[in-house]
Amino acid sequence: GETRYNKDKILQGQGVDEPLSATGLRQADAAGSFLSNVKFTHVFSSDLLRAKQASTAAAILGKNKFCKDLEIKYDARLRERKYGVAEGRPLTDLKAMAKAAGEQCPSFTPSGGETLDEVKERARDFFEFLCQLAVELEHKEQDSAASRSSGACEEQFVFPWTNHCSETELNSGKSEASNVLDANILVVSHGAYMRSWLSYFISDLNCTLPINLTKSQLSSVSPNTGVSHFIVKLQNGDLLKPEIVCVCLNQDSHL
């Protein structure tokens, strides 16, 4: 959700942590209403103030019809990229620093900040943790065949963006996933971090993208409370070769 610093184009990173603005709270409520019919099995959030507590993650769960009482687990690996000396300063200052160093944003790393590779490594570590979690759940579910019967999960994993992506993209995973999802995980994080996560998905894991996605959409930071949906398949529990389909990226039709 939006903060006052978002609106004023001031870098927050990790050291500057503003609460949501009034607009940000409305955005979080709107995202919650948008996702209210999705039954999540797990919720993970950045431990920064603007993502946790009475903010984005809690607002989304508060609107949910199935999992209001689901525990939100906070994880430092989901924090925004650290911008060092540029935190608390206008974005124009970061661009000026990059120009002075003969580099381009966003690849430029200010003093005390994280490199893009370091951010990507955090994303990789957290994603591998999620994959391990899903595999462990699958093993538990194998002991309870009834919970995996055809159609048992159909109503629990209904996603609201069928009008915003192609039938081909949905069919690539949704019809099958509705019956076999071992985990349906909500992750609440930050724009620059999630852009690095997407870069990792594409460059390292060959993520399949929506057919109508433009290069500018691919490189842009998600709008506040933008929603992205990925289907991850781990064939035979193989953690090394996940198949990833991006159903939608940075969806903001709820705003």
Asked whether residue 55 carries a pLDDT value surpassing 80, the answer given is no
Q: How far apart are CA 141 and CA 127, in angstroms?
A: 21
In a domain, 174, yes or no: no
Peptide bond into 106 cis (omega under 30): yes
Arithmetic mean of pLDDT over the chain? 85
Q: Is 82 among the annotated ligand-binding positions?
A: yes
In a domain, 155, yes or no: no
In a domain, 171, yes or no: no
- What's the gap between Cα 31 and its chain centre? 13
Q: How far apart are CA 227 and CA 53, in angstroms?
A: 19
In a domain, 14, yes or no: yes
Asked whether residue 26 carries a pLDDT value surpassing 80, the answer given is yes
In a domain, 152, yes or no: no
- What's the gap between Cα 18 and its chain centre? 20
Asked whether residue 165 carries a pLDDT value surpassing 80, the answer given is no
Q: Is 74 among the annotated ligand-binding positions?
A: no
Average pLDDT over residues 81-85: 96
Return the pLDDT at 63.
93
CA proximity to 46, closest of 152, 133, 119: 119
Q: How far apart are CA 72 and CA 42, in angstroms?
A: 8
Burial, 77: exposed, middle or buried (Cβ in 10 Å; 0-12, 13-18, 19+)? middle
CATH of residue 34's domain is 3.40.50.1240
Asked whether residue 156 carries a pLDDT value surpassing 90, the answer given is no
Question: For the chain, what is the domain count?
Answer: 1
Q: How far apart are CA 108 and CA 197, in angstroms?
A: 17
Q: Which amino acid is at 6?
A: N
Query: Which pTM does this prediction carry?
Result: 0.87
In a domain, 158, yes or no: no
In a domain, 160, yes or no: no
pLDDT digits (tens, 9 = 90+) for 102-125: 999 889 999 999 999 999 999 999
Higher pLDDT, 159 or 229: 229
Q: Is 83 among the annotated ligand-binding positions?
A: yes
In a domain, 110, yes or no: yes
Whole domain around residue 82: which residue ranges?
Answer: 4-143+181-251
| DSSP per-residue letters across the chain | --BHHHHTTB--TTT--PPB-HHHHHHHHHHHHHTTTB--SEEEE-SSTTTSTTTHHHHHHHT-SS-TTPPEEE-GGGSPPPBGGGTTSBHHHHHHHHHHTT--TTT---TTB--HHHHHHHHHHHHHHHHHHHHHHHHHHTT-GGGGSTTTTTTTB--S-GGGS-HHHHHTTHHHHHHH-S--EEEE--HHHHHHHHHHHHHHH--B--TT--HHHHHSPPPTT-EEEEEEE-GGG-TTS-EEEEEEEEE-TT-
